[in-house]
Amino acid sequence: MAKENRSIINILDLSVEELDHLMDLADRIEKNKEEYWERCKHKKLATLFFEPSTRTRLSFEAAMLELGGSVLGFAGASSSSAAKGESVADTIETVSNYADIITMRHPKEGAPVVAANHTSVPFINAGDGGHFHPTQTLADLLTIRRCRGELSGLTIGLCGDLKFGRTVHSLIDAMLRYPNNRYILISPEELQLPEYEIEKLKEEGAEFIQTTDLEGSIPELDILYMTRVQKERFFNEEDYLRLKDIYILTKEKLENAKKDMAILHPLPRVNEISVAIDQDERAKYFYQTLCGKQMRMALILYLLGLDQ
Amino acid sequence: MAKENRSIINILDLSVEELDHLMDLADRIEKNKEEYWERCKHKKLATLFFEPSTRTRLSFEAAMLELGGSVLGFAGASSSSAAKGESVADTIETVSNYADIITMRHPKEGAPVVAANHTSVPFINAGDGGHFHPTQTLADLLTIRRCRGELSGLTIGLCGDLKFGRTVHSLIDAMLRYPNNRYILISPEELQLPEYEIEKLKEEGAEFIQTTDLEGSIPELDILYMTRVQKERFFNEEDYLRLKDIYILTKEKLENAKKDMAILHPLPRVNEISVAIDQDERAKYFYQTLCGKQMRMALILYLLGLDQ
Amino acid sequence: MAKENRSIINILDLSVEELDHLMDLADRIEKNKEEYWERCKHKKLATLFFEPSTRTRLSFEAAMLELGGSVLGFAGASSSSAAKGESVADTIETVSNYADIITMRHPKEGAPVVAANHTSVPFINAGDGGHFHPTQTLADLLTIRRCRGELSGLTIGLCGDLKFGRTVHSLIDAMLRYPNNRYILISPEELQLPEYEIEKLKEEGAEFIQTTDLEGSIPELDILYMTRVQKERFFNEEDYLRLKDIYILTKEKLENAKKDMAILHPLPRVNEISVAIDQDERAKYFYQTLCGKQMRMALILYLLGLDQ
């Protein structure tokens, strides 16, 4: 039974035991869908998206509906009272009277902390600017565990924008809690992993390599985590155009990969992974969205104390 | 049993007996949630919001969902056929085929009257421009009755924009139907209660005072109803800036207030009430949103003839 | 039982036997609502509207809710990941993991074909640009069958924008599969039925007349299908203003119409039909929206294999 009004802002808000419990729960849900069909009956999830995100919002909504609960909320700031100058704190105080659990995406880093201080129901951060997005990391962990059977002893390639990509940072933070993983950090020099994340790898004594070479790194990988090089992260168009196409995964680059390597991507993809790869058995990025839905189901159940 | 196709446009569309019945029903719902969990099963509420309003829309949706019904609709004019030039009348004729009860917010005063003429299911006005917003007044009434035990013999302070604030006018209209209430009308001279509302007070022989002094008025109040000074009501920025901060409720101003005074606000708040007051037991504006949800539940049940 | 992952892009994707089955099913639903109240329990419909459309979206949502299912989705491109450059293919791959059946409106012709190639659940085109909109035609067919008892041997007037009006083309395509119907094509010369649709009429040996005269054609009609002359179809304002008002249906023009003629319109209407006609028994355009909801219910049941 989770403690009341638990807020999940960062993946580190969950202990390793809790992560394992949530993954076990997701596996049970996968195998016994019907057992959970009415579990959240009469419960309501509020999805407060101050910034649009189809995938994350629909995933939360699908999760709650598959548990027999219902959903209310908004899909963009223009549909909300924020336009009238209302604070996040006041919105959360109010919505606490309308819903049994709240998830929020907000463009401002720190907004979830404010929300957590004002909610009287469990709260889940669904992404705050370039900061945290814990349920994406939950999706990543379950996908890796299901594809490889475990979360330790793996060689993990992280490729693309390692500087601004919040999903990469969170995934490293989470994987560092499992033993004996190696990290291959593949990016242009301009988009290398920030120093504070490098420090964490060192502190934990994790083996890691920084490289600009995607193709040469592939053969040793168990997991290849691709990310989008986002236009909005660049100061000028020229740098963006020069860099965006370098780390594109193609069929050719996959030739020397392990047969059971798993390719992940937080999506949306623009062109970082050639669509020709979608049919490859190693492509797990759409399966990852299924894992994401099931982890959100597990998290909702856990935070509502309905997991037993 | 409500008559078929009843439309609630203005708080005065409900008799005093009906108001009392709705408040009694809200109290029963509060105490026996489970009795009402399936009451609106197979019923659909349409929420047609031609103008965004998080609070009101989510409150209606939460209300219907807590009754076991479901919800469909839109959250802003850009998502609707209005953009293609469709009339409110045609939208309502159509949606009457999709839902069992309709609620609508529209920026144009008078739109709900058109809607009421074309609906073939019960209809609730969820706000029309600066005109009527009856379910806000239902929320206010229940909050006052629950905080003070009754709706008569009270000294009610109404503070802020009394000229354009539709919630203030509706609340006065409703409270005038209960005996022996005194009204302290606190506002800058530019935003005093309009003459036609003053006339109503006089006609009913109600005791009232017009003043510009918030702090001096507080000690005698049972209820303090604060309102937002809306920027969009002013012709120039200068007047807005000069006036908006005068009627801000602070901890200091509360010092001589009664211990059981209730502070209400229709929300959203910008800065009319210092956040330091949120923890004060007299702050009832978030509780008011809970009362609003329960009154909407009561009203939906009543209009659908499912209140027995 | 429909085959798995059936996609309906065009009305011609359904055989005559299937059309008849769907209409029979809609009639059964009309008579035995309660039998279908829980039929889609635990099923989810995704409504992906990359372009707003109140009527169609709400009709699909109402349909799914009346079958006991639930709904998730978005109401405009700005609320979707399309803004981040995601392809329709990737959106559909993902949403296939969230929903049991998908309906999509997209401004680009051809987008539904891409979607059909990537969905792993049944898919329904809810309109693609000026191209296809099969569920509107299903609504039209049921309305005609219910109003006239059959779909053959009828004289059908089609009036307004016959050049760009996709609903007119689809309705002709569908009606040509039923014998002995006559077509009176009423439009300004600039907006006549395109040659490829004329060819179809000739190939099937259907009797048809092209005319600019609405009033003179009315007396012989069993069905009058009015359409909107859309501003966005014209290259200049002047042409639009000259043509838009010519084919307006008024009480006077109806004087010599048959007593049991049925007037249809795909809606939204701007002013093509005088509101004075709404009270006339022959006005069936709002009833048509009810038929549309019931046909969508039938189609959802059929595609999910839940029609038996």
Per-residue model confidence (pLDDT) at position C230: 73
d(CA C45, CA C67): 11
Per-residue tokens: C49: 């509207």
Give Cβ neighbours of residue C194 (< 8 Å, ≥ 6 apart). C163, C169
Domain boundaries, chain B: 7-132+292-303, 135-289
Do A127 and A160 meet the contact criterion of CB atoms below 8 Å apart? no
pLDDT band at C188 (very low <50, low <70, confident <90, very high): confident
Does residue B268 sit at the A interface (CB-CB below 8 Å)? Answer: yes
What is the C-alpha to C-alpha distance for residues C34 and C37, in angstroms, rounded to an integer?
Answer: 5
Instruction: For residue C145, give Cα distances in angstroms to C17, C148, C297.
Output: 15, 5, 17
Query: H or E element: which one contains A64?
Result: helix A54-66
Contacts of B136 (CB under 8 A, 6+ apart): B56, B127, B167, B170, B266, B292
Cβ–Cβ below 8 Å for A94 and B289: yes
* Tens-place pLDDT, residues B190-224: 899 999 999 999 999 999 999 999 999 999 999 99
**Which chains sit next to C, with 3 or more Cβ pairs under 8 A?**
A, B
Of B44, B133, B163, B296, which residue is the catalytic one?
Answer: B133
Predicted local confidence at residue A238, as pLDDT:
82
Asked if residues C204 and C179 have their Cβ atoms less than 8 Å apart, the reply is: no
- Tell me which fold the domain C7-132+294-303 belongs to: Rossmann fold (3.40.50)
Give residue B1's pLDDT.
Answer: 37
pLDDT digits (tens, 9 = 90+) for A213-259: 999 999 999 999 999 877 776 777 887 777 777 789 999 999 999 99
Calculate mean pLDDT across residues B265-291: 95
Q: Which CATH class is domain C135-289?
A: alpha beta
Q: Strands, DSSP E only, in chain C?
A: 7-8, 44-49, 70-74, 101-106, 123-128, 155-159, 182-186, 207-211, 223-226, 262-264
Residue with tokens 């699908």: A62
What pLDDT, on a 0 to 100 scale, did the predictor assign at position B54?
Answer: 84
Question: What value does the CA radius of gyration of chain A take, rounded to a whole number of Å?
Answer: 19
Interchain CB distance below 8 Å, C66 and B44? yes
pLDDT at A80: 57
Average pLDDT over residues A174-198: 95
A98 and B267 within 8 Å at the Cβ level: the answer is: no
ipTM score assigned to the predicted complex: 0.93
Is C129 part of the contact surface with chain B (CB cutoff 8 Å)? no
* C208-230 residues labelled b (16+ CB within 10 A) or e (exposed): beeeeebeebbeebbbbbbbbbb
For chain C, give the percent of residues with pLDDT over 70: 95
| Mean pLDDT in residue range C119-129 | 95
Which of C72, C78, C94 has its CB closest to that of A61?
C72
Segment B23-75, tens digit of pLDDT: 999 999 999 999 999 999 999 999 999 998 889 999 999 999 999 999 999 98
Q: Is B38 left (phi over 0), alpha (psi -120 to 50) or beta?
A: alpha
Instruction: Look at residue A68 in the predicted model and tell me its pLDDT.
Output: 98
State the DSSP string of C48-106: EESS--HHHHHHHHHHHHHTT-EEEEESSGGGSGGGGT--HHHHHHHHTTT-SEEEEEE
Q: Does A62 touch chain C (CB under 8 A)?
A: yes
Task: State the Cα angle at C201 between C195 and C202, rounded to 5°.
Answer: 85
Task: Please name the member of B54, B71, B275 whose beta carbon is closest to the beta carbon of A81.
Answer: B54
**Residues B125-143 pLDDT 10s:** 999 987 899 999 999 999 9
| C188 or A117, greater pLDDT | A117
pLDDT higher than threshold 80 for residue B265: yes
Beta strands in chain A (DSSP E): 7-8, 44-49, 70-74, 101-106, 123-128, 155-159, 182-186, 207-211, 223-226, 262-264
Q: How many degrees, rounded to 5, is the angle at CA A68 between CA A65 and CA A72? A: 50
> Is the CB of C45 inside 8 Å of chain A's CB atoms?
no
Closest residue in chain C to residue B45, using alpha carbons only: C62
- Mean pLDDT on C139-147: 98
| Contact check, Cβ <8 Å, A72/B54 | no
> DSSP characters for B42-98?
T-EEEEEESS--HHHHHHHHHHHHHTT-EEEEESSGGGSGGGGT--HHHHHHHHTTT
The mean pLDDT of chain B is: 93
Contacts of B58 in chain A (CB under 8 A): 46, 72-74, 94-95, 98
- Do residues B94 and C55 touch, judged by C-beta distance below 8 A? yes
* Contacts with C78 from chain A: Cβ below 8 Å: 52, 76
Nearest to B92 by CA among C306, C242, C286: C286
Binding-site residues of C for L-aspartate sit at 84, 166, 228
Secondary element (H or E) of residue B211 = strand B207-211
The predicted model gives A21-38 an average pLDDT of: 97
Hey, which residues of A are catalytic here?
A: 55-56, 84, 105, 133
- Asked if C93 reaches chain A (Cβ–Cβ under 8 Å), the answer is yes
Whether CATH 3.40.50.1370 fits B7-132+292-303: yes
The answer on whether A228 is annotated among ligand-binding residues is yes
| Cβ-based burial of C280 (10 A; exposed 0-12, middle 13-18, buried ≥19) | middle
CB C187 within 8 A of CB C252: no
What does the block give as tokens for A174?
Answer: 């989470």
Confidence tier at C86 by pLDDT (50, 70, 90): confident
pLDDT band at C84 (very low <50, low <70, confident <90, very high): low
Element (H, E) at C141: helix C134-148
Query: Which residue in C191, C266, C280, C254 sits closest to C226, CA to CA?
Result: C266
Q: What is the pLDDT of residues C60-74, one digit of tens each?
A: 999 999 999 999 999
- DSSP assignment of C38-54 equals TTTTT-EEEEEESS--H
Return the residue matching tokens 């939208």. Answer: B91
pLDDT digits (tens, 9 = 90+) for A51-90: 988 899 999 999 999 999 999 999 886 655 555 678 999 9
Percent of chain B scored above 90 by pLDDT? 81
Mean pLDDT of C196-218: 96
Q: Mean per-residue pLDDT for B113-123?
A: 97
The backbone region for B73, taken as left when phi is positive above 0, alpha when psi lies in -120 to 50, beta otherwise, is left
pLDDT value, residue C2: 40
Catalytic: which of C55, C108, C231, C242? C55
- Predicted local distance difference test score (pLDDT) of residue A3: 46
Q: What single letter denotes the amino acid at residue C271?
A: N
More confident: B233 or A190: A190
Angle between helices A134-148 and A285-303 (to 10 degrees): 120
Q: Is C56 a catalytic residue?
A: yes
pLDDT in tens, B75-105: 886 655 555 678 999 999 999 999 999 999 9
Share of chain C above pLDDT 90, in %: 81
CA C80/CA A54 separation, integer angstroms: 5
End-to-end CA distance of chain C: 8
